[in-house]
Structure 1
């Protein structure tokens, strides 16, 4: 059997295979509440045959949203809106459900991507973003408000409250978002963090708040359910966050009980220069895995089943997380299983879709015909 389709255990949660549907922002919530779009979007991805489905970046407080249309989980209304979505997935799919919890920091209060993605000013109905330092993401933007001690406590407590709500919803796993230029990545990167207190300056200080948030989330989420972290392994900008610092951060997270590192890159500066090619971020996942021993997810332009399987076979990563490729082909795991001679979970309503030369794709199935 191809290793891509072998089970993988994370604490008390076992994935049927190593394929993960990455969290993908949909910008389709109302007041942070999930809508019928989320039912359709997450519902059909739950039938993909992947081992785990990760719900999009979910804001821990209203001002932590990237856009006014971001999903959130910060009060009873946002929790109640997600409940029927989770229940529907549970009724029809064995897929494990994760949630990425996030705070956008200085990249908050933005238009949705298809409307340009620019900062929405307070005068135009936006809000003042909060960040480690009063440094805007783009030079022509209004500077964010630098978080004081009370603000840091508020944000940390918001992560904790969201983790508790996620546990109550029955979410199997959490991923703390410390990548792509959002708040926790902003603390890590010297590009965005120019504080002079115990949360800025040295690597130890810049890691302090993200580690405090992870510790707080891990402490309240059930012990038999895993918690991972997404990181940007490099800022792709001189003087920014580096792969070597990522290894140190991963070591500190591993010591605190982190269950995986989801290794991405970039996002903290518009000056980044990213050399895009298939699997361009895999070397960073390999570096983290080899130098720390922690479980890793590889992401980034991985679209070919043979490539995905080889990454896992070679020990470069333990799981493959897919985003755009899964949107383009929501049955990618089915097609990968067919190509690699593996089996994959599918609902019985779809069993008759197996090609004649792949009649065991969904395992041993029996169908009567009237």
Structure 2
């Protein structure tokens, strides 16, 4: 699509909509039709056949955000999630020791989000093996001793009537770093202070400030896949409803996917088929042991924000195959993680066009919401913005991150803003006196 007009980045405009010719027009960022990079300008995008508009949203006539959504499963029943406001997994760096065991902080953090009304609450990047932790203070599911504390989190989330997910991750060459908290450097933790040797697609540092990683051999790759499998079994033992494979933000699977960090010459490098091989192997192995009654999700970076890096068309192609095979039924589309100094058009909803590209690529193959739910993420900050993303068909759900840190009751507040009846607000009964 080509740019048609410049608008204020927070504006949403629409024509009068007739029953016979429903058209919604909304602001978003454009993806050039045949380009590997994103256009920086804003444009108005026509999305026809929707039957709603921002004018209706402003007047509280639509709250698609607070309708149930079903994450498909191989057994055909699916997992019904109470609403389409999901919590994006966010690292807390709150493990007391280096044992990967969830603490009271995690219970407080995730519990507040569940009580605050989010339909699906996803625990942060949880390492499948100790060397796969982003930092020494990350969560893990590499050991059976970690299961009870995870089960405690799940029990509370379920007690609020919400679905519980966990993001399984391996940081690869971005592992063994200091926590991303005030007062810590953005560098590798030295071995003398508890750091460890990292691994990646090839030898060398993934980013300039990190220590060199070692290239994974076939034996090492097999170990990674096996670690994802065993962590998945433990996630099931903890009673998580959803597993999300972390293939985004410059971590190990993304390091294999991206030509910026994968220059291998064997079957795991080269063209997209080789670079996506590790992802495909992990997905197939995890799906084989994850119960057929439970959905499997994936988080991807839709772009590296670099013309020489991973492009959204490539990502969409791989995802289309995984969905068509019945292996993945929830896709969360983020971006970046492998470049320093790239120009990223950060602003409200700046990653939504990536979700659009994936949604449309799936639709071209007849794969809709009944095959895979696509969630948009990236500075989704308020109810109207989220509702517009859904009502204009750009995604099936939204994942909220930083706004949920600001207000764990974001979902309940959003429901009130969209004029969901007070008696139906998604919140814990203990908060019934709260006025949003």
Under TM normalisation by the shorter chain, which class is it? over 0.9
Give RMSD over aligned pairs: 1.3
Which residue in 1 is equivalent to 2:85? 19
The structure where helix makes up a greater share of residues is: 1
Provide the C-alpha distance between the structure 1 equivalents of 2:337 and 2:425, rounded to a whole number of angstroms. Answer: 34
Alignment deviations for residues 206-244 of structure 1 (CA, whole Å, 9 cap, x no partner): 011111101111111111111111110110122100011
Farther-moved stretch of structure 1 (55-64 vs 31-40): 31-40
Aligned partner of 2:434 among 344, 353, 358: 353
Aligned partner of 1:64 among 123, 132, 136: 132
**Residues 345 and 130 (structure 1), Cα distance of their counterparts in 2 relative to 1, 3 Å cut:** same
Aligned partner of 1:264 among 334, 341, 349: 334
Alignment deviations for residues 39-67 of structure 1 (CA, whole Å, 9 cap, x no partner): 11111111011110001010000000000
Farther-moved stretch of structure 1 (240-249 vs 121-130): 121-130
Aligned partner of 1:38 among 106, 113, 124: 106
Which residue in 1 is equivalent to 2:266? 197
Checking the alignment, whether the CA contact within 8 Å between 1:237 and 1:271 is kept in structure 2 is no
SS in 2 for 1:34: coil
Aligned partner of 1:286 among 341, 356, 363: 356
Which ranges in structure 2 are unaligned for 5 or more consecutive residues?
Answer: 1-61, 73-77, 364-371
Alignment deviations for residues 147-199 of structure 1 (CA, whole Å, 9 cap, x no partner): 00110111000000011111111101111000000000001001111111000
Matching of residue 175 in structure 1 with residue 260 in structure 2 = no
Which residue in 2 is equivalent to 1:273? 343
**Residues 136 and 59 (structure 1), Cα distance of their counterparts in 2 relative to 1, 3 Å cut:** same
Deviation of 1:346 (Å): 2.1
After superposing on structure 2, the runs of 4+ consecutive aligned residues of structure 1 that deviate more than 4 Å are: none
Deviation of 1:347 (Å): 2.1
Which residue in 2 is equivalent to 1:240? 309
SS in 2 for 1:352: coil
Provide the C-alpha distance between the structure 2 equivalents of 1:140 and 1:100, rounded to a whole number of angstroms. Answer: 26
SS in 2 for 1:171: coil
Deviation of 1:122 (Å): 2.3
Checking the alignment, whether the CA contact within 8 Å between 1:59 and 1:73 is kept in structure 2 is yes
Aligned partner of 2:170 among 103, 108, 111: 103
Deviation of 1:351 (Å): 1.6
Checking the alignment, whether the CA contact within 8 Å between 1:137 and 1:269 is kept in structure 2 is no
Aligned partner of 1:90 among 158, 181, 200: 158
Which residue in 1 is equivalent to 2:293? 224
Which residue in 2 is equivalent to 1:321? 399
Checking the alignment, whether the CA contact within 8 Å between 2:411 and 2:426 is kept in structure 1 is no
Provide the C-alpha distance between the structure 2 equivalents of 1:139 and 1:20, rounded to a whole number of angstroms. Answer: 33
Q: If the length of structure 2 is used for normalisation, what is the TM-score?
A: 0.79
* 1:331-342 correspondence to structure 2 within 5 Å: 331-342=409-420
SS in 2 for 1:353: coil
Alignment deviations for residues 52-111 of structure 1 (CA, whole Å, 9 cap, x no partner): 0001010000000000000001112211222222223333x0010011100000000000
Matching of residue 3 in structure 1 with residue 64 in structure 2 = yes
**Residues 182 and 338 (structure 1), Cα distance of their counterparts in 2 relative to 1, 3 Å cut:** same
Provide the C-alpha distance between the structure 1 equivalents of 2:340 and 2:146, rounded to a whole number of angstroms. Answer: 32
Across the two proteins, how many residue pairs are aligned to each other? Answer: 354
Matching of residue 303 in structure 1 with residue 371 in structure 2 = no
Deviation of 1:295 (Å): 2.4
Deviation of 1:140 (Å): 5.2
SS in 2 for 1:54: strand
* 1:130-149 correspondence to structure 2 within 5 Å: 130-139=199-208, 141-149=210-218
Checking the alignment, whether the CA contact within 8 Å between 1:57 and 1:99 is kept in structure 2 is yes
Matching of residue 213 in structure 1 with residue 268 in structure 2 = no
Checking the alignment, whether the CA contact within 8 Å between 1:187 and 1:200 is kept in structure 2 is yes
Which residue in 1 is equivalent to 2:221? 152
* 1:243-254 correspondence to structure 2 within 5 Å: 243-254=312-323
Which ranges in structure 1 are unaligned for 5 or more consecutive residues?
Answer: 356-370
